[in-house]
């Protein structure tokens, strides 16, 4: 059976004052039905642009999807007309964004935010839609849902707004939910509630999830597979277990080492990733991580290393030295 | 009356409360309530110590920092800096005080003037306070500050937008250091930075603390960074301190149910550890500080709450050495 989503060599560019930015520079990955895949990266790594490209939500100009295929449920989303695409968004693919205040319509009641989707996509009549809205609010754990349905987004707390977003995303029984930093704007205890909710609902309803985040802890808690992005490319991909316990890309290794951990003894000093994030307008033909990499060799300046098998089946790394890294790491440490 | 200098804390906060009034009406306004941002807290920071102030949004940690810096006038309580009450200072003393305490903000994008060159941003406090009237010597000082903060001195001629987030935060730190302060309030100083840059700035803050003997109040919501950087930590919830202890003690042996909830909510970047953890998120949300719950403010969300928690406000008790907990249900 083909995967639910297959992204092949996706390219998205932005024309900016400073020059052409290849925000997403040829990424390929798959998402199987029902699984949770994380896309991890720092600001500017292309993780959000990659996800918005799947939904074809890149503002043009300045942005443009310039290459690749997005195969979802047997269809290439790039070949669909805009009305066909609109059918997919919100029905087959649900979305949850970072800031629920800006993604909910401030002048519509909570009921309307949900019933609109249902009427649009499923041709539901008003009564059916409203009953379903009530059901959805109960499902996402909102207390006193009948009262909340009549309220407006500003009357809800951040955590509750994010619950509403999840209800909207789940309204039409989607096959996939794309969640872009869904809990970054929330407090720790609320973040934990929302992530638990998303996990239990996606498992129960069999919905696949793409979680886009910079938080390595969130990934470890919720994702089965991980794609690590740097400067518009996937530099490492594999199971969460492989990525965290047997990383084969210097960026992933450095990133994991740089974060202080509550479950480990306090270290005398943190081990940062040295240097600055890449300037995407000034990339040359070599590996973008090269200037910050302690394992860089001459070859790294010549060509971009391709994403190639490393370690266990399904584990990929875009590093010329991925095979040696396990040994090199011990020497360096 | 005064304790000997050596033992006297650099910063002492006594019974601090900050209630922001809520008023109604445009022409004739009347007060209809108050946001109890900070509601009676006490702590002290020794010279050279880093105290972490943690809690979720709205717990009052930032307001506490602003009160210490005298950017807010508190409703009640005293703030002593080196033994002097900052709220009773004359203007002249206040100017001197401002040199001794500085602040580093969260967002290096909005706390640096986009129209000023980096050199002028850092040099301005030196000029304003008349520390170095000579322009050339001031430039030298700025270059030195830049290199102390790990930036190339030629960044002097650049504008903030030409720099990355991490570099901008280093500029913010250089500016805070410009007047050789003793005390710096770091308000979410590394929260907006990318993971790979965060560790660089944390290390820089540690280096500077050692090099210049700085005292920090480190306000943050990221508990792992706080544990790394702070010697002592106070946990705030809804305007009150619920627990305070030495950092290792607090993280190894959290006693207040809220601290325990906070710690268990932080996901550990390791799938094996996460798979082995039985995780139960804390129910409910942070109540409004306009109308906080009676008694212990955490009782509506607390798994240990009993009837008594709704009535009496628990006081901080020292349940283990130097470990203070405001909960009537836990015992050392």
B286 touches chain A (CB under 8 A): yes
Closest CB from B199, B265, B270 relative to A189? B265
pLDDT of A190: 86
Q: Confirm or reject contact between B203 and chain A (CB < 8 A).
A: yes
Task: Compare CB distances from B228 to A159, A187, A270 and report the shortest one's residue.
Answer: A270
Please state the rounded mean pLDDT for residues A243-266.
93
Predicted ipTM?
0.86
Chain A interface, best mutation among B271, B275, B286, B288, by max A CB count within 10 A: B271
**Residue among B273, B235, B275 nearest B251 (CA):** B235
The answer for residues whose C-beta is within 8 angstroms of residue A60's C-beta and 6 or more apart is none
Q: What is the mean pLDDT of residues A269-285?
A: 88
Q: Do the chains contact at A221 and B274, CB–CB below 8 Å?
A: yes
Note the pLDDT of residue B229.
95
Whole-number average pLDDT of chain B: 91
To the nearest whole Å, the CA of B56 is away from the closest chain A CA by 6
CB pairs under 8 A between A and B: 141
Is pLDDT at B327 greater than 50 in this prediction? Answer: yes
pLDDT at A330: 62
**Helix %, strand %, coil % of chain B (to 5):** 35, 25, 40
- To the nearest whole Å, the CA of A94 is away from the closest chain B CA by 24
| pLDDT of B6 higher than 60 | no
Show residues of chain A in contact with B218, CB under 8 Å: none
Quote the pLDDT of residue B1. Answer: 45
pLDDT in tens, A166-205: 999 999 899 999 999 888 878 888 888 888 888 888 899 9
Q: Kindly determine whether residue B285 and residue A190, on different chains, have CB atoms separated by under 8 Å.
A: yes
Q: Do B266 and A217 touch (CB under 8 A)?
A: yes
**Region of residue A86 (phi > 0: left; psi between -120 and 50: alpha; otherwise: beta):** alpha
| C-alpha dist (Å) from residue B231 to A212, B13, B268 | 34, 18, 22
CB contact under 8 A, B270 and A42: no
What are A43-93's pLDDT values in tens digits? 889 999 999 999 999 988 889 999 999 999 989 999 999 999 999 998 999
Q: Does residue A1 or residue B316 have the better pLDDT?
A: B316
Q: Which residue of A has its CA nearest to B288?
A: A157
Question: What's the predicted TM-score (pTM) here?
Answer: 0.89
- Nearest chain B residue (CA) to A268: B228
Q: How far is CA A198 from CA A51, A79, B76, in A?
A: 18, 31, 43
**DSSP per-residue string spanning A284-327:** -SS-TTGGG-TT--THHHHSPPP-EE-SSTT-EE--TTHHHHHH
Shortest Cα distance, chain B CAs vs residue A2, angstroms: 27
List pLDDT tens digits, range A17-40: 888 899 999 999 999 999 999 999
Does B196 contact chain A (CB < 8 Å)? yes
Is B269's CB within 8 Å of A191's CB?
no
B274 touches chain A (CB under 8 A): yes
State the pLDDT at residue A287: 95
Give me the residue from A261, A266, A272 closest to B200, CB to CB: A272
CB contact under 8 A, B272 and A188: no
Minimal Cα–Cα distance from A121 to chain B, Å?
33
Distance in Å, alpha carbon of B205 to nearest chain A alpha carbon: 11
Q: Which tokens go with B228?
A: 């790394």
Say yes or no: B273 contacts chain A, CB-CB below 8 A.
yes
Q: Report the phi/psi class of residue A260: left, alpha or beta, with left for phi > 0 and alpha for psi in -120 to 50.
A: beta
B56-114: pLDDT as tens digits:
888 999 999 999 999 999 999 999 999 999 999 888 888 889 899 999 988 777 888 99
Q: Do B265 and A191 touch (CB under 8 A)?
A: yes
Task: Give the separation between CA A268 and CA B201, rounded to whole angstroms.
Answer: 15
Residue B279 forms contact with A (CB below 8 Å)? yes
- Retrieve residue A112's tokens: 């309307």
């Amino acid at each position: 059976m083909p995967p639910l989503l297959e992204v092949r060599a996706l390219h998205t560019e932005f024309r900016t004052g400073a020059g052409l930015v290849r925000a997403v520079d040829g990424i390929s990955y798959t998402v199987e039905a029902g699984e949770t895949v994380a896309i991890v990266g720092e600001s500017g790594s292309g993780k959000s642009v990659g996800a918005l490209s799947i939904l074809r939500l890149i503002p043009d100009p300045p942005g443009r999807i310039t290459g690749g295929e997005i195969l979802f449920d047997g269809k290439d989303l790039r070949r669909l007309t805009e009305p066909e695409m609109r059918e997919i968004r919100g029905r087959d693919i649900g979305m949850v964004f970072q800031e629920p205040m800006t993604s909910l319509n401030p002048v519509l009641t909570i009921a309307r935010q949900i019933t609109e989707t249902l009427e649009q996509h499923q041709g539901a009549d008003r009564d059916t839609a409203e009953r379903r809205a009530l059901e959805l609010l109960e499902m996402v754990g909102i207390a006193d849902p009948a009262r909340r349905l009549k309220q407006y987004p500003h009357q809800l707390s951040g955590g509750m707004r994010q619950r509403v977003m999840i209800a909207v995303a789940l309204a039409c029984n989607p096959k996939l939910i794309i969640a872009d930093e869904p809990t970054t704007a929330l407090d720790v205890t609320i973040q934990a509630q929302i992530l638990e909710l998303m996990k239990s609902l996606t498992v129960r309803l069999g919905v696949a999830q793409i979680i886009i985040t910079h938080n390595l802890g969130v990934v470890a808690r919720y994702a089965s597979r991980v794609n690590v992005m740097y400067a518009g490319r996937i530099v490492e991909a594999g199971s969460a277990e492989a990525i965290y316990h047997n990383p084969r890309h210097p960026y992933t290794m450095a990133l994991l080492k740089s974060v202080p951990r509550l479950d480990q003894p306090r270290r005398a000093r943190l081990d940062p990733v040295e240097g600055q994030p890449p300037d995407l307008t000034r990339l040359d033909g070599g590996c973008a991580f090269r200037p910050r990499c302690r394992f860089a060799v001459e070859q790294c300046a010549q060509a971009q290393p391709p994403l190639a098998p490393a370690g266990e089946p399904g584990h990929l790394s875009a590093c010329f030295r991925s095979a040696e890294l396990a040994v090199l790491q011990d020497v360096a440490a | 009356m005064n304790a000997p200098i050596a033992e006297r804390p650099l910063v002492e906060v006594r019974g601090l409360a900050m209630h922001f009034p809520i008023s109604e009406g445009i022409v004739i306004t009347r007060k209809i309530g108050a946001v109890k941002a900070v509601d009676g807290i006490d702590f002290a920071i020794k010279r050279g110590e880093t105290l972490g102030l943690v809690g979720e949004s709205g717990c009052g940690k930032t307001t506490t920092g602003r009160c210490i810096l005298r950017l807010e006038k508190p409703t009640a309580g005293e703030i002593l800096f080196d033994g002097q009450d900052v709220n009773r200072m004359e203007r002249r003393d206040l100017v001197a005080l401002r040199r001794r305490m500085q602040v580093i903000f969260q967002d290096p994008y909005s706390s640096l003037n986009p129209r000023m060159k980096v050199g002028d941003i850092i040099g301005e406090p030196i000029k304003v306070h008349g520390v170095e009237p000579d322009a050339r010597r001031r430039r030298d000082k700025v270059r030195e500050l830049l290199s102390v903060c790990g930036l190339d001195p030629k960044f002097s001629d650049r504008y903030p937008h030409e720099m990355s987030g991490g570099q901008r935060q280093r500029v913010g730190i250089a500016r805070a250091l410009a007047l050789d302060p003793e005390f710096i309030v770091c308000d979410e100083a590394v929260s907006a930075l990318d993971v790979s840059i965060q560790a660089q700035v944390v290390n820089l803050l540690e280096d500077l603390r050692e090099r210049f003997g700085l005292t920090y109040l480190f306000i943050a919501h990221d508990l792992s960074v706080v544990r790394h950087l702070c010697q002592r930590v106070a946990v705030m919830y809804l305007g009150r301190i619920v627990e305070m202890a030495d950092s290792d003690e607090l993280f190894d042996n959290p006693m207040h149910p809220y601290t325990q909830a906070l710690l268990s909510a932080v996901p550990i970047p390791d799938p094996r550890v996460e798979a082995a953890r039985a995780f139960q998120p804390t129910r409910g949300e942070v109540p409004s500080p306009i109308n906080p719950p009676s008694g212990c403010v955490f009782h509506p969300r607390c798994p240990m709450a009993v009837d008594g928690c709704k009535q009496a406000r628990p006081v901080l008790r020292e349940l283990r050495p130097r470990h203070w907990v405001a909960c009537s249900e836990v015992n050392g």
